[in-house]
Chain A
């Protein structure tokens, strides 16, 4: 069974640019969550999507946005990049996003490492 796939794995952008990251969840998983991981702030929740609807959102500025497609694949976008946006962006999928033993656990991808110069 394929895991969560994130692309691209690495990318370098300059301040002011925008970036789009992609996440393909485990087959059958309908919930996709996004997290930002930095050495200083650790792992922080960005947002969660289920059946193309954003159900939950963390405390990030509006420059961070996302969407989910009918096949459950998800993208997140960061506009007007700032140096502080340099981070590992992680996607996690689960059956319904509510956390539970078995198949509904949140499974993470390897992440997309964004460097902003």
Chain B
């Protein structure tokens, strides 16, 4: 019940394409859903985050779509660039006493070809 399932494991798109990464969860106590981007040799960096009372959030070229009833959320990257090539992780955090405990998906390796 604590898992967050992420797909696909890897994704290759051409520059300007719109990669979509999907995540699903079971634990209805999750109430905060961030996406992190990680480059080789670096720690994960927060991209965008959403709460379940919002169905969509946009920040620049990144959009989160959230479907509370289906317990699914996804990341869309508009006009993708080679510099977006990285590993992307969805995550979830439960309210209450789950201090600092993000549950991560397995990650998606995104490659954007020029």
Contact = CB atoms under 8 A, between A and B. Distances in A.
A98 interface: yes
B89 interface: yes
Interface in A52-93: 55-56, 58, 90, 92
Interface residues of A, dominant DSSP: strand
Given A90-B44, A100-B32, A105 B49 contact: yes
Nearest to A88: B43
Interface residues of B, number: 25
Given A55-B99, A56-B100, A108 B93 contact: no
A95 to B, nearest CB: 11
B43 A33 contact: no
A94 B101 CA distance: 12
B107 A106 contact: no
B97 interface: yes
Nearest to A4: B43
Interface of B: 32, 34, 36, 41-46, 49, 89, 91, 93, 95, 97-107
29 contacts: A4-B43, A31-B100, A32-B100, A33-B101, A42-B105, A42-B107, A44-B104, A45-B103, A48-B99, A55-B97, A55-B99, A56-B97, A56-B98, A90-B44, A92-B100, A92-B102, A97-B99, A98-B93, A98-B99, A99-B34, A99-B93, A99-B102, A100-B32, A101-B49, A108-B36, A108-B44, A108-B45, A110-B41, A111-B43
